[in-house]
Amino acid sequence: MKRGGVALLASACAMEAGFLALVALGDLKQGVVEFTTVYLGTSLFYLFCCYWITRTDVTKWPRRRLMGLVWLGGLLFRLTVLPLSPQLSDDLNRYRWEGKAQAAGENPYTAVPQDPRLEHLRDATWEHVNRKDLPSVYGPVAEWTYAGWYRVVSSIEPDAIRQVWWFKVPFALLELGVGLAVAGLLAAAGRPSHWLLIYWWSPLVVVEFWAQGHNDTLVMLFVVVATTAALRNRWVGAFASLTLAVLSKYWPLILFPFFLLRRDQGRWRLRWKEALIAVPIVLAVAGPYWQSWESVRELLEGFLGGWRNNDSLYGIIYEFAGQDFDAAGAQVTRYLAAALGLLWLLQRPLTQSIQWAVALLLFFSANCFPWYLIWFIPFLAVNPNAALLLWTALVSLAYHVLIGYGALGTWEYSDEFRQLEYLPVYGLLAASALTRCADVKGWRDLMRWARAPRDWLLRRR
């Protein structure tokens, strides 16, 4: 027991050394090879900690000491990388531009950064504002956040470049709320509280939220709170929080069927009355932006097909479709819908359904940036999975694209690096699936759940 505690503490120290090394690198974009090497090394210790925390009996350990180590270790990791400038992505520059545009009276769903009419909004950060040809692809809750935070930051920091760094602060603070929400989710799901380490010590979470400042903490806070409320049978609150998640980023819309109609204690329950809470929330939050929702369509086209970034299954379908984006996008949409439908029919526990729904979305999408994987990490704390945990480490290989982009200005992923990232993950998933299929009882369960909707319809008649 004492030896195990020393191993956990030593691993935490090794991870902290890795994060200090990232700070020493400074400009991560110019040192992609060094960043990836350090990140993978740090992730090895993290994966060991995940294995140890889920396989070791710690019931006789002083609980306060163990949880103290988990909380303090994760907080130290975050504060260590906070001073870093967001170099691996230009997203914060876009967040700030949209906040600035709204402060000038523009609608982010119709305003396009490269519009000559908006030339007066350009400043020292203009070069790094991404997708200058598109309006906003973020939800109204995110837009409210950008607008409010820009007014705060611009009043206390006149320098435009420094304002970009400050734009990661609200999302970093929201991530603390996600950590607390995951702790509540573990309690609601009846899981050991120390499994919080799986989320709280994740190098991907630390780097993408506290070093790079991505806005996904906003949507993840609402998704985790919605799931916890559902597990506690507080369905009005669950649908309210899930609606706010969709209004932050649109992808949680795929989770609504898993909340709306579920088999509970042998009976199917359609919670349409509780779901009506979504209507006034949508009207109140999205009202000021009602003029144009064209960006929603463009987002879905780009996400499922239109441009490619670190894709896996989509790339295979794209090749079989003759490298036709429209044909590949249509096929991917059908395959994804079928996969999500099968997952819904299986009626697995809600946390598992959400975890695998998100994983399926990322497997089939044309765009899978490293920080997108954070969407399922809170649920890995409840349902640990070796393949998905490994993916959170190997996804750092996707940053190899920045090498060519920085040197030649070309954004092109290497098939070799994608194979290094995805083949081990899919290999582990396949091995796990074969093991489960060997269990005859598993097939019987599958058939029983597949017949459940038919039985429900017959009873309704």
Quick: pLDDT tens for 225-260: 999 999 999 999 999 999 999 999 999 999 999 999
pLDDT at residue number 440: 47
Residue 1 pLDDT level (bands cut at 50, 70, 90): very low
N residues, the chain: 461
Residue 405 pLDDT level (bands cut at 50, 70, 90): confident
- The token pair that represents 43 in the structure block: 């992730």
pLDDT of 79 strictly over 70: yes
Between 306 and 171, residue with greater pLDDT: 171
Mean pLDDT of all residues in the chain? Answer: 89
Residue 382 pLDDT level (bands cut at 50, 70, 90): very high
pLDDT at residue number 447: 54
Residue 325 pLDDT level (bands cut at 50, 70, 90): confident
Helix axes 216-231, 169-189, angle to 10 degrees: 20
Residue 34 pLDDT level (bands cut at 50, 70, 90): very high
For 186-226, what is each residue's pLDDT tens digit? 999 999 999 999 999 999 999 999 999 999 999 999 999 99
Between β-strands 267-270 and 261-264, what pairing exists: parallel, antiparallel or unpaired?
A: antiparallel
pLDDT at residue number 55: 84
pTM value > 0.75: yes
pLDDT at residue number 65: 86
Mean pLDDT of 139-160: 94
Residue 130 pLDDT level (bands cut at 50, 70, 90): confident
Mean pLDDT of 114-134: 90
Mean pLDDT of 68-95: 94
pLDDT of 138 strictly over 50: yes
Percent of the chain with pLDDT over 90: 68
Residue 4 pLDDT level (bands cut at 50, 70, 90): low
Residue in this structure with the two tokens 């940036």, named with its chain if needed: 369
pLDDT at residue number 439: 57
Between 62 and 31, residue with greater pLDDT: 31
Give CA–CA dist 352/446, Å, rounded. 15
Residue 262's nearest CA partner among 347, 156, 373 is 347
Residue 304 pLDDT level (bands cut at 50, 70, 90): low
pLDDT at residue number 383: 96
Residue in this structure with the two tokens 């090895």, named with its chain if needed: 44
pLDDT of 398 strictly over 50: yes
Give CA–CA dist 206/80, Å, rounded. 9
Residue 62 pLDDT level (bands cut at 50, 70, 90): confident
Give CA–CA dist 287/199, Å, rounded. 35
Residue 280 pLDDT level (bands cut at 50, 70, 90): very high
Residue 103 pLDDT level (bands cut at 50, 70, 90): very high
